[in-house]
Structure 1
Amino acid sequence: MAEKLTATDRENIQAYLSAMKALEAKEPEYNFADEASAEAWEAWNAECLATTNKYQDSIKRALLFSLGDMTGAAPQSVAAILSAFVDSGQITTSTTARRAEIIEYPLDKINCVIWGLLERDTAGQIAIAAEKRGSKKEISILYSINFDNLGDEVTISKRLLPFDKRVYIAVSALFNAGNNVISLTQIHYAMGNTSRPKAGQLQRINEAIKKMNGAAITVDNSQEIAANYKYMQFKYEGSLLPLERIEASVNGQLTDAAIHIFREPPVITFAKKRNQITTIPVKLLQSPMNKTDANLQLEDYLLERISREARGKGKTARLLYKTIFDHAGISTAKQKQRAPEKIEKYLQYYTETNFIKGYAMEADGVTIIFA
């Protein structure tokens, strides 16, 4: 039976409501890219939680009292009350966002190939060469993708683009930072953006998520296992990005475009199980270059190649322009003419953020200096 409210309870409820109203009036602005504003908001949120905890006993009694006596009530009646709360939007998923300070960047062959299939249809099974150097037998990782679930009426590109990969990596980083409910704004900042998101940017992130959620993939490395390669077996069939859309309150801001992600994105899991992944600070993605598909494809190759070279014992590494152009989709004379300037801007930023010690621009390529 619901307890009657005492005079003290009523005083506590009034004090709580007054305190929360005052706190709401001084809520600080939250900016994921600004550590000071993020810390200020977290301190404010902690004060809100402390205030609620202070009066929690009276709050619980008041809530039970407002529902009335449920003793002996038909279960259907109780369910109807709860259903009414849900339908009216009074019950909404609420979460406090955690920033992704560390980005896990994949270095495996699957991730090196699937996001760059821009010139041919990706429907059907693809055999990705995985045999070791010098092997006389072909060993493949089998991969397939189709976008049938999106339907013909969807106008977004049914190909995986460099922008999609950056969104995918950002979602994975946020999930591994402890978020299973994620807003588009969080993804925007985890991609390396530092300014407030514009409507068009959020729309593009939203379309990338829709595309990847609707994309059905298969990955199977059984041939590696049969060849006694020392990798864990990996078989996956399902969505490229398994999630559901929900309405949620993230850091006190209501959004109807949040995602509830069910598991770590599968092709990131594939890379981690092979130990073919590197970790970088999110700051490394905050270069001053615009995040166009062309720039992201170039940046992706530089990050992947430099990370691979850094794992070796060499103090320097040579990257030929021809190799960079081939992997970054740089094909026209104009693109090749402008590419060295772009490459230098990235390398200058990587030096400033201590990703590399230095670099040297040369006629046919660049030398990366690690020590």
Structure 2
Amino acid sequence: MGLQSLSDHSHRGCAHRSLAAEAGSQARRASLHSHRSWGWLQIRRLIVDLGPWRPAVNRLPAVDKLERRPRAEDQRPRLSCVPWLTRGGDGGAIALDVDPNLIDAPAPSGSRALEEEIAALRHDRDALQLGFFEAAYVQQRLGAPRRLRRGAFDIAGETFPVRHASGDFLTAFDTGVHTVLGLGDIAGKGLSAGMWFTHLVGLIRLFARSLHDPAGVAAAINGHLASLDPEAPITTLFLTWADACTGDLVYSNAGHPAPLVLRRDGSVEWLSAGGPVLGAVPDATFVNGGAVLNPGDTLLGYSDGILECCNARGEEFGVERLVDATRSAIAPSASATLFSVLGSVQDFAADAPRVDDLALMVVHRLDEA
């Protein structure tokens, strides 16, 4: 049933009556009452571009507010027509279908249910956020301490997750004979990588106490990861046995970006001996490498997130900048060196968003134990 032309009724001033008559149908009343949960005001008609009927619209009385008079139970819902006219000359009218009984009605049960659902979702969100922070805290506690002193070795390490938990990890512990230092990168980010971290650290600690060298530990972990179903994520690992008395390092590098040793004279040595990434080749062979940290020498381990950190132009930080930053960063403490290198990376990236986890480990041999 359509609205009649307003011009047909302008001379009788009955625009309100024709609209009210239309609203009197039982179908419209049922529709109005079936939508109470959406509010007491419903837009039923929108008449646009009245064209030649503009004068008639201008003669309609202004409707500033809705009447709120009581009505009998059998009274039909009231209609009000609100005219409008733009500066450009276009006009129209909005017919508003109003049930006065609903104006002062309390909030419908549907609205309360929606508010309760929103409150429940907020509670779940807060609980999930708390779980993320707790997972990050556990990961930090299970990893290497931020600063460690073993004999002449001054050791510092930091991980910087792009999400709550990090796929990059550090580990450091003593076996009674030497100090075990590990730096790894689990494929992926966030909680999934963080959960694998706890498993990897447990394996490193388990095998390091029963096997005699880093290559043997890398081979054992590789065989274990390759046998898992479902498959474990690919993992890189640099693992070294450090003798705090002599400065000797025995290491094996399983596909990790090669750490560098910056000598006191400014020369650089790369620690790359080892084997492939862990979990990819079940029967892979791993070998040991060796190096000596002399007084004044510094070992810098890092994750690929450092090398691949980009600036706004899409340029990567890269190996050359890392070497320059390490040379410029040499300080009396390992912690100061670490944060100097990190500052160089941050200055390079500036405001560019970070997309990968970062990890740094610095081992500085002091002049005196």
With normalisation by structure 1, the TM-score equals 0.21
Structure number having the greater strand percentage:
2
**Which structure is higher in RCO with an 8 Å CA cutoff and minimum separation 6?**
1
Structure number having the greater helix percentage:
1
With normalisation by structure 2, the TM-score equals 0.21
Rg comparison, structure with higher value: 2
